[in-house]
Amino acid sequence: DFDVMVNVVSILPLEYDIPTEVNELEEDFEALNLADHKPMCYYVMQNGCVEEQKAIFEKPDLGMQNHLKALFIRAKVNNVGINKVLVDGGAVVNIMPHFMLRKLGLYDTDLHSHNVLLANYEGKTGHSLGAVQLEVFVGSTVRKTLFMVIAAKPNYNLLLGREWIHGVGAVPSTMHQRLIIWREDGLVENVEADQSAYVSETGTVTLQNFDKNLASIAPCGEQDAAFDPNEV
């Protein structure tokens, strides 16, 4: 009933893992003038303003390196604006918590059955409540997207996995807190992360605000910089 492609992950036997030699000869490559290949690009900010910009991920500065933020963006689904949309390259499919159905004007009767199994981080598998296909707007890009609806209450409103990321030709960067999308017309958009998912200061760490605190915890490098739970 859905006009979508289903991605299948296949695991090949070890004997298929044969190294391939690639001979890179200098004469086989043409020197490209990068100045002639700069794409037109627009930067979509949280307030809806748009400005022209280059489509690059600049060298990370210390501010970018000293955070552990996930990449949340804003999107529009069924003409409803949604914040805390998690872009997760570690997930194959797109996920919608059940509580979002009503907010989008949908009901359980709008869900369709399917035979896709979902696996969590513990490796346990199970079925979702059903699937629903909706139009998702991110920046100026729109795409019909299939969501698996789950009963859990995660710390996001929607999750866009590799099915959506690859489908729209997007390149996400948690470090830069930005998402680059190549549009069908050849233009490129930089979509700014939704920072409303994080708070600047929190006195205590609980199950509800733990992920928010990751925004200000630097990656573990030197021993002095490691996170000490006894100090919370």
How do residues 71-106 score in pLDDT, each as one tens digit? 999 999 988 999 999 999 988 999 999 999 989 999
Output the pLDDT for position 90: 87
Query: Is residue 122's pLDDT more than 80?
Result: no
pLDDT digits (tens, 9 = 90+) for 134-152: 999 998 899 999 999 988 8
Q: Record the tokens describing residue 143, joined without a space.
A: 């795409």
**Structure pTM?**
0.63
Burial class (CB in 10 A: 0-12, 13-18, 19+), 95: buried
Higher pLDDT pick, 195 / 163: 163
- What pLDDT, on the 0 to 100 scale, is given for residue 174? 87
At residue 24's C-alpha, the angle toward residues 20 and 28, to 5°, is 130
Amino acid at 183: R
pLDDT band, residue 158 (cuts 50/70/90): very high
Provide the pLDDT for residue 166.
94
What is the tens place of the pLDDT at every residue in 2-51? Answer: 454 444 444 445 544 444 443 444 344 343 333 333 334 455 555 656 66
- Look at residue 127 in the predicted model and tell me its pLDDT: 72
Of all helices (H) and strands (E), which one includes residue 72? strand 72-77
Give, in degrees to the nearest 5, the angle at Cα 148 between 78 and 184.
55
Greater confidence (74 vs 120) lies with 74
Q: HSE of 45 in the Cβ direction (CA atoms, 13 Å)?
A: 6
Share of the chain above pLDDT 70, in %: 57
Query: What are φ and ψ of residue 196, in 5° steps?
Result: -70, -15
List, in order of start, the domains of the chain with CATH numbers.
39-53+60-197 (2.40.70.10), 198-232 (no CATH)
Return mean pLDDT, the chain: 72
